[in-house]
């Protein structure tokens, strides 16, 4: 007699260096997580295809009912196409959903990784029960995700919520995206590492009581407050969720950030707004992908 396999939703997060996957059961509990060893980015699409095959082999003991894939960059969610991705310079309009569905005979949806992360926090994390949520992930760059009126907001081309790329300095540094003074140039892990290349962002934050790190972190936080206040005034959210590697070491700053945002934002917006830390950290992308 053949044994019946457990049905799962699989969530896959294609990062710059590895692929993470999460299996959820029908009650949305995590059954298993898996991370591939690093894959060769220069192999482009083929490298990713091979890594995805490894992921599917790993979960072959389950009945994969549906899959979701999160990927950095501009993703056309409706048509299942990765328009471009900062992790894969040569990718242009990659039909990732069609490839996945044909290869594994599993229905699949794809979305931007930060959209996946905000869905994870909204359905299974700190933003549960809220209808207006902004997520910022502070990592190598700054990613953004928006829940507006109880739905993921993707814009006309699926490319909305690039919250790392609104300008906070008109005459600021030139960004890879072509704009000047983008928020992420002043508020990402890269911002801190560029100032002190001998340390990781985590090490710099650990030295926050000593100069010159103290001043660098103070200016980082000031820029973060400037950005969040503008975002708050545009979207009038109930909750601003901050995630990304840097936040692990910066929980101490959240109360001050929230207080300053409340002082500077429009009074009606400031009244109830909260600035909180993300709950799902590094697995939010994969988790949210499973919920697509």
- Looking at the DSSP bridge assignments, the partners of residue 11 are 22, 68
Which residues, 178 to 197, sit near Zn ion by CB under 5 A? 179, 182
Sign of CA dihedral 184, 189, 190, 195: positive
Part in contact with Zn ion (CB under 5 A); list of ranges 63-71, 171-179, 187-195, 241-249: 171-179
Part in contact with Zn ion (CB under 5 A); list of ranges 19-27, 52-60, 175-183, 259-267: 175-183
- CB 223 to Zn ion: min, Å: 14
Among 18, 98, 177, 255, binds Zn ion (CB under 5 A): 177
Coil, strand, or helix at residue 144? strand
Given its phi and psi angles, is residue 205 left (phi above 0), alpha (psi -120 to 50 degrees) or beta?
Answer: alpha
Q: Does 159 bind Zn ion (CB under 5 A)?
A: no
Among 9, 109, 154, 165, binds Zn ion (CB under 5 A): 165
- Cβ neighbours, 10 Å, residue 62: 17
Given its phi and psi angles, is residue 218 left (phi above 0), alpha (psi -120 to 50 degrees) or beta?
Answer: alpha
- CB 180 to Zn ion: min, Å: 8
Q: Does 20 bind Zn ion (CB under 5 A)?
A: no
Number of residues that bind Zn ion (CB under 5 A): 5
What phi and psi values does residue 99 have, to the nearest 5 degrees?
-60, -45
Q: Does 175 bind Zn ion (CB under 5 A)?
A: yes
User: Which residues contribute to the site for Zn ion (CB under 5 A)?
Assistant: 165, 175, 177, 179, 182
């Amino acid at each position: 007699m053949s044994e019946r396999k457990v049905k799962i939703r699989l969530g896959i997060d294609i990062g710059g260096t590895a692929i993470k996957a999460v299996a959820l059961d029908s009650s949305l509990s995590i059954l298993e997580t898996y991370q591939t060893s690093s894959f060769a980015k220069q192999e482009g699409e083929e490298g990713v295809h091979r890594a995805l095959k490894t992921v599917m082999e790993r979960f072959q003991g389950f009945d994969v009912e549906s899959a979701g894939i999160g990927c950095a960059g501009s993703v056309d969610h409706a048509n299942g196409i990765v328009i471009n991705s900062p992790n894969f310079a040569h990718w242009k309009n990659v039909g990732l959903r069609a490839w996945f569905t044909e290869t594994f005979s599993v229905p699949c949806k794809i979305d931007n990784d930060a959209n996946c992360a905000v869905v994870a926090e909204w359905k299974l994390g700190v933003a549960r029960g809220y209808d207006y949520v902004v997520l910022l992930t502070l990592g190598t760059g700054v990613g953004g995700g928006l829940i507006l009126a109880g739905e993921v907001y993707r814009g006309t081309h699926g490319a909305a919520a690039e919250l790392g790329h609104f300008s906070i300095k008109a005459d600021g540094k030139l960004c890879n995206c072509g704009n000047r003074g983008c928020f992420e140039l002043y508020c990402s892990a890269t911002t801190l590492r560029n100032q002190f290349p001998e340390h990781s962002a985590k090490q710099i934050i650990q030295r926050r009581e000593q100069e010159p790190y103290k001043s660098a972190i103070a200016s980082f936080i000031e820029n973060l407050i400037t950005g969040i206040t503008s975002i708050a005034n545009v979207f009038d959210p109930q909750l601003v969720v901050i995630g990304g590697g840097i936040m692990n070491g910066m929980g101490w700053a959240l109360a001050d950030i929230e207080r300053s945002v409340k002082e500077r934002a429009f009074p009606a917006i400031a009244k109830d707004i909260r600035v909180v830390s993300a709950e799902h950290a590094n697995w939010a992308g994969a988790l949210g992908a499973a919920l697509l």
